[in-house]
Amino acid sequence: MAHQLLYSSPLSYSLTSKGRHISLMSRNGLLLVALLVILGVYLPWVRSPLFLFPNRTFSSFPPNWRNYSLAQAAKFVAKDGTVIVCTVSYPFLPFLNNWLISVSRQKHQDKVLVIAEDYATLYKINKKWPGHAVLVPPALNSQTAHKFGSKGFFNFTSRRPQHLLRLLELGYNVMYNDVDMVWLQDPFQYLQGSHEAYFTDDRTRIKPLNHSHCLPPPDRNGVTYICSCMIFLRPKTGAKLLMKKWIDELHAGSKVYEGNDQPAFNWALNKTAHQLDLYLLPQAAFPTGGLYFKNKTWVEETKGKHVIVHNNYIIGYNNKMKRFRDFGLWLIDDHSLESPLGKLE
């Protein structure tokens, strides 16, 4: 049905359809104008991440994101008392976006809180996804993609237990992920019971499917090899004790651990294991990269059981990206609009 706008005077328009006239100064005409205005404002947002991922009101945000506190941010993103946390510096925004796509597919993106390690990351994320990034001073250098084992990498990761402890003290359940991970299924279904700390084994030795969920026995050097990159904690005394001990170990052995905070985490686990309720997550569901990406037979035998894949046991930004691409897990090339950040330029 053809419609035509006819001009007659500065205050008078009419819409004609088969001879019927609607004056824009009439009630119906004013409603039509209002509808056109709304559509003109609304339609450009349809493809925006803020439209695809609506969230709560932004009215409580500070005018300057530097004043946005961890407590404010956690309160904003928490859902059912739970926060999903990652720490990110600017060079790793593509990995963050890749991880976020996989989290969004499991409908948990609203719980995500990005702890930005530099102001460039803070502003970039909050511009695209207001309220989901916070910076806990001091800010680090935003220009360097730190390699595993470097001093910069250690400075970046060694603050992790401080952030997690603060969130526990605020009363939240906390899941921590590194962003070189991809979710294939919903991990929350595996957080059975009411244990205080859930973790994964970083060894590549294959375990039986019905393996024990206790802390694995230490090796000949008296240490375990638990991964500090995927942790779930409940705000209980034991979990807080573990984080405090991790911080203590990092401070006490900073030269020994420089470049890697994971040994300190394992020493803390072993020293506090008798004081908290620990739970080792299933290897088939949470495999280390040294197993998932290098043992095709095991991957085929455990097909359908994988939940979170960790792209570790490889060093280098570009090497990680290539491996994800080789295994069909680099999602941002074709699915960036599935991320609440949309396509990053």
Q: Is 70 exceeded by the pLDDT of residue 252? A: yes
Average pLDDT over residues 116-135: 96
158-203, pLDDT tens digit by residue? 789 999 999 999 999 999 999 999 999 999 999 989 999 999 999 9
Token digits of residue 199: 């973790």
Q: Which residues contact 178 (CB under 8 A, 6 or more apart)?
A: 86, 229, 230, 310, 312
CA distances from 104 to 49, 171, 245, 307, 337 (A): 12, 24, 33, 14, 10
Burial of 192: CB neighbours in 10 Å, binned 0-12, 13-18, 19+:
exposed
- Reference 197, options 222, 161, 223; nearest CA is 161
pTM: 0.81
Spatial separation of the C-alpha atoms in residues 117 and 316, rounded to whole Å? 19
Q: Side chain identity at 326, as an amino acid letter? A: D
Q: Do the beta carbons of residue 82 and residue 173 sit within 8 Å?
A: yes
Confidence grade of residue 28 (pLDDT, cut at 50, 70, 90): low
Give the position of tokens 């085929």: 300
Q: Do the beta carbons of residue 152 and residue 104 sit within 8 Å?
A: no
Percent of the chain surpassing pLDDT 70 = 76
- Reference 144, options 294, 270, 332, 317; nearest CA is 317
47-87, pLDDT tens digit by residue? 444 445 454 455 567 778 999 999 999 999 999 999 999 99
Spatial separation of the C-alpha atoms in residues 252 and 246, rounded to whole Å? 10
Q: Do the beta carbons of residue 111 and residue 78 sit within 8 Å?
A: yes
Spatial separation of the C-alpha atoms in residues 132 and 194, rounded to whole Å? 27
Confidence grade of residue 146 (pLDDT, cut at 50, 70, 90): very low
Average pLDDT over residues 242-260: 79
Q: Report pLDDT for 1.
A: 43
Spatial separation of the C-alpha atoms in residues 140 and 92, rounded to whole Å? 13
Spatial separation of the C-alpha atoms in residues 75 and 58, rounded to whole Å? 12
Angle, vertex CA 224, rays to CA 218 and CA 230, nearest 5? 150
Look over the chain and give the mean of its residue pLDDT values, rounded to a whole number: 84
278-295, pLDDT tens digit by residue? 999 999 999 999 999 999
Percent of the chain surpassing pLDDT 90 = 68
CA Rg value for the chain: 25
Q: Computed from CA positions of residues 136, 313, 285, 264, in that sequence, does the dihedral angle turn out positive or negative?
A: negative
Convert the chain into a string of H (helix), E (strand) and C (coil): CCCEEEEEECCEEEEEECCEEEECCCHHHHHHHHHHHHHHHHHHHCCCHHHHCCCCCCCCCCCCHHHCCHHHHHHHHCECCEEEEEEECHHHHHHHHHHHHHHHHCCCHHHEEEEECCHHHHHHHHHHCCCCEEECCCCCCCCCCCCCCCHHHHHHHCCHHHHHHHHHHCCCEEEEECCCEEECCCHHHHCCCCCCEEEEECCCCCCCCCCCCCCCCCCCCCCCCEEEEEEEECCCHHHHHHHHHHHHHHHHCHHHHCCCCHHHHHHHHHHHHHHCCEEECCCCCCCCHHHHCCCHHHHHHCCCCCCEEECCCCCCHHHHHHHHHHCCCCCHHHHHHHCCCCCCC
